[in-house]
Structure 1
C-alpha cells in the first residue's frame, strides 16, 4: 500500500477536522503525566502523595464512566466532547496558575485532578463513538492508526519537553500549554459534522437505567470483549502502580535518569509506538486480539529493567519496545470494537470496557504507594512483571479472543454484532 493510500482517511473532511482536534489537544496532554508527577513530588516527595493525586483522578473517572457512556450515546458526541474540553481547559488552567504562583497544595491538586477524572469519563466514550461516524468502514483500521500516529508522534517530544520545562521553569507551564490546546480543539470540533441523532441511533430514547442495561447486554454477549477487559482490569492496576507510581520515584533516585531523563524515557516509548504505527497503516491484522494480547506482554520488559537496571539507556530501550507493543494492541482493539459493536451502543459498550479496564487502577495506585515503603522495589517490579505476563496470556485461553477476525459487514446498519467466532 502506497503512503498516499495509507493516509486516505484524511480525505474525509469530517475525519480531517476530528483528527486535527485530537492532535491539537494531545499536543498538550502528552506533557501532563510528567508535569503533574513532578509538581506533586515538589510539594511532597513521597510515593504516597503521588498515589493520592493519581488515584483520586482514576477513581472519579471510574465512578462516572457508565453515565458518560449513556450521555455520549444519547446526545451529540461532538457537543459532549466540546463541553468536556471546556471543563478540562478551565481545570488545567487553574492547576497551572496555582503551581506557577507557588500556591499549590496537595489537597488542591488532588481536587482538581478529581474533577479532570470525572470529565474524562465523558470524553473517552464520546471519542470512541465518533470515529465510525466520520470515516468509511473500510478505513477504520487506517483511521485508528492515524489517530494513534498523531498521539504517539507528539508523545515523542511531549514528555521530553515537559521534563525540560520542569527543570527550567517549573511544571506549571506544561499544564498551561495543555489548557491552551484544549481551547483550540474546541474550535476545531465545531467543524465536524455528524449524522443527526435519529440517523445515528434509530431508536426511541429510554430511561438511563434501561440504556445502561442495553449496554451491559451488548457487552456481556461478546466473550472476546469481557475476557480482554477482565484481563486488563488486572494488568492496568499493575502497570499504573509500577510505571505511574514507582517509575518517577526510581527516576528521581537514579543519577543517570532524573526528572529530565524520565521524560526522555517516556519519549522513547512514543518512538516505538510511532514506528509501529507506520507498520499498522499498511498491515491488515487478520486476528487483531490474538496479535494484541501477545504483543502486550512486552510491557513487562520496562518493569524488569526499572528493577534490575535503572539506567536511562536500558530503560529507554524497554519503553521503546513497550510502545511498539501498545500500538499493536491499541489499533487491534479499537478496530475490533468499531467493526463488531453497533454504533448506536458503542459509547455505552466502550464505557463498560473502560470501567472494567480501569476499575482496579485506583487500587493499584494506592497499593503500590504503600508497597513502595514496605517491599524491596526491585523484587516488587520483577514479581509485578511476571504476573503481568501471566494475566495477559491467560486471555488467549478463550477461543473467542484467539479467533476473532475482521468483519466485512457494517454493524451500524444491521444493529447487531457480526462475524463473531464460536465461543469456548
Structure 2
C-alpha cells in the first residue's frame, strides 16, 4: 500500500511519477518505444489489405506472408535474448528498429511498384520477424539501465501508457491511411516510424554490455543453457509462463476467431466487435493509472489473481449477455492485463540478474506464446462442433483453470517485493 507523508496527496504522487519524464534518457526511450509501437500498430492493417488488394491474391497469400513474419520471430527470439545479453542493449535495439524499418520499406516498395512475387514478400516479412525477435529481449533489459531502481514500476507503467495510446491511435490512423492512400503508402509511414525510433534509441548513447566475465567466450548454446538455468531455477517464473501458454491459447481463440464470429452471428457484425476492442483499449489505459499506484507486497500473487477476471468477457459472450455488459467485461480484461504486465515486468527486472535478463525474457516470450497458434487453429472446428457460445465458455475455462493452477505454486504465492517497490511511491 502506498504511504503518503502529511500534506502529500495522490495528486502529488502522480506528479512525482510524471517527474520521471524530465530524465532525458527515459524520455528518449519512452518516445522511441511509443513511436515504434505506433508503427507496429499501423503495420498489420497496411500489410493485410495491401496483400489482399494485389491481383490474384487470396487469403492463402496473406497467410503465407504472415507465417513468414511470425515463424522467424519465434525461431530467433532465444537468439535475440543471447545477443541482448552479450552486446550493449542500446545498439541491439537500434539495430532491431532499423532492420524493422528496412523490412517494411521493402514491403512498401514492392506494393507501390507492383513487383510482388510471393516469395519476395515473404522474405521481407521474415526480416521484420527477425527484427522483432532482436528488439523485444533488448527492450526488457534496457529499462533497468535507463530507469533508477526505485522508479522501475513507474517507468514500466509510463512506457505502457505510451504503448497503449499508440495501439489505440494506430488502429484508427492505420485503417484511415490504408483507405485514403493504400496499403503501400501506409507501410511507408510504418517504416518511417521505426526509423525514427531507431534514431531516438541512438541518441541514448552507448550503454555498457550487460555481462563482463573477463573476456571469456561462450557459445550461443552455452549462453542459452545459462539463461535456461536462470529461468528454470525460479518457480514463480516458469509456473506463470506455463500458465500463460494455456491462457494465451484461450485468448487467441477468443479474440482472433470466436469473438468476431459471435459478433457476426449475434451482435450485428464489425461495429459490435469494434466496441469490444475499444472497451479493452480504454481498460489498458486505466490499467496504467492503477499500476502507477498499486504496490502489493506479493506482486506475482496479485498478478496471477488479476488473470482470473480476464475470463469475464468470454463468459458474458458465451451466455449471450447484452453488448454493454460484454464491453464492460472487455474493459475489465484491459485493466487487469495491463496491471499484470507492469507487475510482471517490474518483478523480473528486480529479481533477475542484469546479465541474464534478456535471455530470461526471451524464454518468457517463447513459452507464453507457443500455444497461441494452436488456439487459432482449434477455434473454428470447436465452434462448428460445439457452437460458438460453448467454445467461448471453453476459452473462459482455459483462462480460469490455468490461473487457479498457478496459484497452487508456493513460488507464486510467497515471492515478496523488495523495499524499493514501496520506496517508489513515498
- Range class of TM-score, shorter chain: 0.7 to 0.9
1:92 to 101, 104, 109: 104
CA drift at 1:65:
1.3
Query: What is the CA deviation profile of residues 215-260 of structure 1, one whole-angstrom value per residue up to 9, with x for unaligned ones?
Result: 11111110001000111111112222321344455556667342x6
When residues 108 and 291 of structure 1 are mapped into structure 2, their CA distance, relative to the original with a 3 A threshold, is farther
Residue of structure 2 in register with 1:272 after alignment: 283
2:211 to 193, 201, 219: 201
2:306 to 290, 295, 305: 295
Whether the 8 Å contact between 2:88 and 2:207 is mirrored in structure 1 is no
Residue of structure 1 in register with 2:160 after alignment: 148
* 1:213 is aligned to 2:225: yes
Query: Structure 2 CA distance, aligned partners of 1:246 and 1:24?
Result: 31
Whether the 8 Å contact between 2:227 and 2:356 is mirrored in structure 1 is yes
Whether the 8 Å contact between 2:261 and 2:388 is mirrored in structure 1 is no
User: What SS does the corresponding residue of 1:397 show, helix, strand or coil?
Assistant: coil
Query: What is the CA deviation profile of residues 274-326 of structure 1, one whole-angstrom value per residue up to 9, with x for unaligned ones?
Result: 11211221222322211211112233233344555598645433322211011
Query: What is the CA deviation profile of residues 90-133 of structure 1, one whole-angstrom value per residue up to 9, with x for unaligned ones?
Result: 22233345556777687766554443223211111100010000
Query: Structure 2 CA distance, aligned partners of 1:111 and 1:263?
Result: 32
Whether the 8 Å contact between 2:35 and 2:166 is mirrored in structure 1 is no
Query: What is the CA deviation profile of residues 31-88 of structure 1, one whole-angstrom value per residue up to 9, with x for unaligned ones?
Result: 3445555666767776x77766555543322211111110111112111112211221
Residue of structure 1 in register with 2:234 after alignment: 222
Query: Structure 1 CA distance, aligned partners of 2:293 and 2:134?
Result: 32
Question: Unaligned 5+ residue runs, structure 1?
Answer: 411-424
When residues 187 and 406 of structure 1 are mapped into structure 2, their CA distance, relative to the original with a 3 A threshold, is same
Query: Structure 2 CA distance, aligned partners of 1:245 and 1:50?
Result: 16
User: What SS does the corresponding residue of 1:354 show, helix, strand or coil?
Assistant: helix
Query: Structure 2 CA distance, aligned partners of 1:363 and 1:146?
Result: 33
Query: What is the CA deviation profile of residues 126-177 of structure 1, one whole-angstrom value per residue up to 9, with x for unaligned ones?
Result: 0001000011100000000000011112223322333444555555554333
Residue of structure 1 in register with 2:127 after alignment: 115
Query: Structure 2 CA distance, aligned partners of 1:147 and 1:295?
Result: 20
Query: Structure 1 CA distance, aligned partners of 2:253 and 2:348?
Result: 27
Residue of structure 2 in register with 1:133 after alignment: 145
User: Quick check: 23-32 or 361-370, which moved more?
Assistant: 361-370
Task: Give the 5 Å matches for 1:246-261.
Answer: 246-248=258-260, 256-258=268-270
Question: Unaligned 5+ residue runs, structure 2?
Answer: 1-9, 422-426
Is the radius of gyration larger for structure 1 or structure 2? 2
When residues 403 and 210 of structure 1 are mapped into structure 2, their CA distance, relative to the original with a 3 A threshold, is same
Query: Structure 2 CA distance, aligned partners of 1:372 and 1:167?
Result: 32
Query: Structure 1 CA distance, aligned partners of 2:225 and 2:48?
Result: 38
Whether the 8 Å contact between 1:256 and 1:311 is mirrored in structure 2 is no
User: What SS does the corresponding residue of 1:201 show, helix, strand or coil?
Assistant: coil
Whether the 8 Å contact between 2:258 and 2:391 is mirrored in structure 1 is no
Residue of structure 2 in register with 1:6 after alignment: 17
CA drift at 1:26:
1.5
Query: Structure 1 CA distance, aligned partners of 2:118 and 2:326?
Result: 29
Query: What is the CA deviation profile of residues 364-398 of structure 1, one whole-angstrom value per residue up to 9, with x for unaligned ones?
Result: 33333555666533322221221221112211111
Query: Structure 2 CA distance, aligned partners of 1:398 and 1:127?
Result: 28
Query: Structure 2 CA distance, aligned partners of 1:163 and 1:195?
Result: 37
2:84 to 72, 85, 88: 72
When residues 150 and 182 of structure 1 are mapped into structure 2, their CA distance, relative to the original with a 3 A threshold, is same
When residues 396 and 343 of structure 1 are mapped into structure 2, their CA distance, relative to the original with a 3 A threshold, is same
CA drift at 1:190:
1.1
When residues 38 and 148 of structure 1 are mapped into structure 2, their CA distance, relative to the original with a 3 A threshold, is same
CA drift at 1:265:
3.7
Number of residue-to-residue matches in the alignment: 406
TM-score normalised according to structure 2 size: 0.84
Whether the 8 Å contact between 2:253 and 2:395 is mirrored in structure 1 is no
Query: Structure 2 CA distance, aligned partners of 1:172 and 1:74?
Result: 36
User: What SS does the corresponding residue of 1:31 show, helix, strand or coil?
Assistant: helix
Query: Structure 2 CA distance, aligned partners of 1:298 and 1:142?
Result: 24
Query: Structure 2 CA distance, aligned partners of 1:83 and 1:35?
Result: 23
Whether the 8 Å contact between 1:160 and 1:266 is mirrored in structure 2 is no
User: Quick check: 18-27 or 83-92, which moved more?
Assistant: 83-92
Task: Give the 5 Å matches for 1:24-423.
Answer: 24-36=35-47, 54=66, 56-98=68-110, 112-165=124-177, 170-197=182-209, 200-203=210-213, 204-248=216-260, 256-258=268-270, 262-263=273-274, 265-307=276-318, 309=320, 313-368=324-379, 371=382, 376-408=387-419
Query: Structure 1 CA distance, aligned partners of 2:233 and 2:118?
Result: 43
